[in-house]
């Protein structure tokens, strides 16, 4: 792994973050602190050191998770959550500016989102922004790897009270739009047994791969639901993602396994999703491999509706799984919103558009400044303020 953080103190020393820099500069600073999953100590140290300069905010450090809270006594609380880790660096560090975009590992997923979190924190901590709600900032590790290591997951399990809120905004890439809730995801293995034999005397065996034909036919014939939940349309999908079978080039195979991935709408629980799979694959052995619940968008709550209105007015269903589901499981409605482009995530040519970054910062600050009787009239003022930042 190449250390490529462009910090004055060099990659081996502590990284320093100056939260007064523009959101674009701050994104570049964060990108240049390499933080592949499992290696987030240095970026978490930098975030912790930067936020601790605001004495009005309470700061907790749990492993490589940094949790910052206001305690302003507001009637509602909003969580701004983002992960500090990235996928493996693909020769795309340090960051570079070109064509109005910042390029590099994590620019889109999701250090631009973390920069937005930190900009809001700087404005609130410095007194420039007096928020209408109390705020919780969550900076966490290991989102890009297995769920058991996920920092948000650990906090949810060990300190669920720290996640309590009336709305969570997860700054995962949405290309500047609001996406509500998320699909659930279940992976299951559907297996068929046969009986081995030499392929020269195949009639002595029973071919498990041939016996898998109806499984694939059911998948090919499957008609996926489109489900409206709280006004958003979730489109489901049921797909084979792996198939394997075979012992040797001259042996009738005695086993064939099809791994399916079911993406399901938030009107179904994980138990209901499993029951549906067992119905589709009736007659076959089915084992659930892993599962993550769907999340409702929470648009039945006034605060979520206000957020949508302030963040652009449009909202779509999140067609994918994100950590919003962890908030949803705790009863906290959650939206996805950030300047990153989901189609560029995890790619060597990952980048983020600077204009989108500025726009999202303006919208987010405007939302947080609004009171419960938001009319949107503050938005212009906020953008002006941002422009002179």
**Residue 212 in 3-state DSSP?**
coil
Nearer to a copy of itself, 98 or 200 (CB): 200
**Beta-carbon neighbour count of residue 239 at 10 Å?**
12
Question: Which residue, among 305, 319, 42, 39, has the nearest Cα to 172 in the 3D structure?
Answer: 319
Binding status of residue 145 toward a copy of itself by CB under 8 A: no
Piece in contact with a copy of itself (CB under 8 A), picked from 56-64, 72-80, 193-201, 279-287: 193-201
Piece in contact with a copy of itself (CB under 8 A), picked from 128-136, 233-241, 325-333, 357-365: 233-241
Q: Considering Cα of 28, then 33, then 36, then 41, what sign does the dihedral take?
A: negative
Piece in contact with a copy of itself (CB under 8 A), picked from 64-72, 148-156, 240-248, 354-362: 240-248
Which entry of 85, 141, 144, 166 is annotated as an active-site residue? 85
Does 143 qualify as catalytic in the annotation?
Answer: yes
Binding status of residue 60 toward a copy of itself by CB under 8 A: no
Q: Which of 158, 200, 349, 373 binds a copy of itself (CB under 8 A)?
A: 200
Question: Which residue, among 89, 119, 122, 84, has the nearest Cα to 103 in the 3D structure?
Answer: 89
Nearer to a copy of itself, 59 or 209 (CB): 209
* Stretch 171-190: interaction string toward a copy of itself, x if CB under 8 A: ------------x-x-x---
Q: Which of 1, 12, 148, 241 binds a copy of itself (CB under 8 A)?
A: 241
Q: Which of 320, 329, 330, 383 binds a copy of itself (CB under 8 A)?
A: 320
Distance CA 281, CA 274 (A): 11
**CB-neighbour burial class of residue 286 (10 A; exposed 0-12, middle 13-18, buried 19+):** middle
Token output for 356: 């989108």
Binding status of residue 237 toward a copy of itself by CB under 8 A: yes
Piece in contact with a copy of itself (CB under 8 A), picked from 59-67, 78-86, 209-217, 361-369: 209-217
Piece in contact with a copy of itself (CB under 8 A), picked from 116-124, 138-146, 151-159, 201-209: 201-209
Asked if 369 and 358 count as a contact pair (C-beta separation under 8 A), the reply is no
User: What is the CA 63 to chain-centroid distance, rounded?
Assistant: 20
Q: Which long-range contacts (CB under 8 A, 24 or more apart) does 287-290 make?
A: 287/188, 287/189, 287/191, 288/186, 288/187, 288/188, 289/187, 289/188, 289/189, 289/259, 290/147, 290/186, 290/187
* Sheet arrangement for strand 184-193: 255-264, 184-193, 285-292
Binding status of residue 55 toward a copy of itself by CB under 8 A: no
Task: Compute the least distance from the CB of residue 197 to a copy of itself, in Å.
Answer: 9
Task: Compute the least distance from the CB of residue 238 to a copy of itself, in Å.
Answer: 8
* Stretch 277-316: interaction string toward a copy of itself, x if CB under 8 A: ----------------------------------------
User: What is the CA 145 to chain-centroid distance, rounded?
Assistant: 12
Token output for 181: 């809730």
Binding status of residue 9 toward a copy of itself by CB under 8 A: no
**Beta-carbon neighbour count of residue 305 at 10 Å?**
15
Q: Which of 59, 72, 90, 209 binds a copy of itself (CB under 8 A)?
A: 209
Catalytic residues: 85, 143
Residues found near a copy of itself in the complex (CB under 8 A): 183, 185, 187, 198-203, 207, 209-213, 216-217, 219-220, 224, 235, 237, 239-253, 256, 258-259, 261, 263, 319-321
């Amino acid at each position: 792994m190449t250390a490529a953080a462009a910090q004055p103190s060099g990659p081996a020393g502590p990284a320093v973050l100056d939260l007064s820099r523009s959101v674009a500069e701050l994104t570049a600073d964060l990108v240049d602190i390499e933080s592949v999953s499992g290696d987030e100590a240095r970026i978490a140290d930098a975030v912790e050191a930067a936020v601790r300069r605001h004495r009005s905010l309470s700061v907790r450090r749990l492993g490589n998770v940094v949790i910052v809270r206001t305690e302003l006594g507001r009637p509602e609380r909003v969580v701004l959550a983002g992960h500090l880790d990235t996928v493996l660096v693909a020769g795309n560090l340090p960051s570079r500016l070109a064509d109005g975009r910042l390029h590099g590992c994590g620019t889109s997923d999701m250090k631009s989102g973390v920069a937005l979190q930190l900009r809001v924190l700087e404005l609130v901590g410095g007194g420039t922004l007096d928020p209408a709600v109390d705020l919780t900032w969550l900076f966490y590790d290991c989102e890009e790897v297995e769920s058991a290591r996920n920092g948000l997951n650990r906090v949810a399990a060990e300190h669920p009270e720290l996640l309590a809120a009336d709305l969570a905004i997860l700054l995962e890439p949405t290309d500047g739009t609001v996406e509500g809730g998320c699909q659930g995801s279940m992976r299951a293995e559907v297996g068929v047994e046969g009986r081995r034999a030499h392929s020269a005397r195949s009639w002595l065996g029973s071919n498990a791969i041939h016996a898998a034909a109806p499984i694939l036919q059911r998948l090919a014939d499957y008609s996926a639901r489109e489900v409206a939940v709280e006004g958003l349309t979730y489109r489901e999908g049921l797909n084979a993602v792996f198939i394997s079978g075979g012992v040797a080039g001259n042996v009738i195979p005695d086993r064939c396994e099809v791994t399916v991935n079911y993406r399901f709408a938030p009107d179904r629980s994980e138990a209901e999703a499993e029951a549906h799979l067992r119905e589709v694959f009736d007659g076959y052995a089915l084992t659930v491999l892993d599962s993550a619940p769907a999340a409702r968008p929470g648009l039945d709550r006034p605060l979520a509706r206000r957020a949508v209105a302030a963040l652009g007015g449009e909202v779509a269903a999140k067609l994918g799984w994100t950590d919003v589901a962890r908030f949803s499981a705790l009863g906290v409605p959650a939206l996805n919103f950030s300047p990153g482009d989901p189609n560029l995530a995890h790619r060597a040519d990952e980048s983020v558009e600077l204009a989108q970054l500025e726009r999202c910062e303006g919208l987010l600050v405007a939302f947080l400044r609004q009171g419960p009787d938001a009319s949107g009239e503050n938005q212009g003022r906020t953008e002006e303020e941002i422009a002179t930042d």
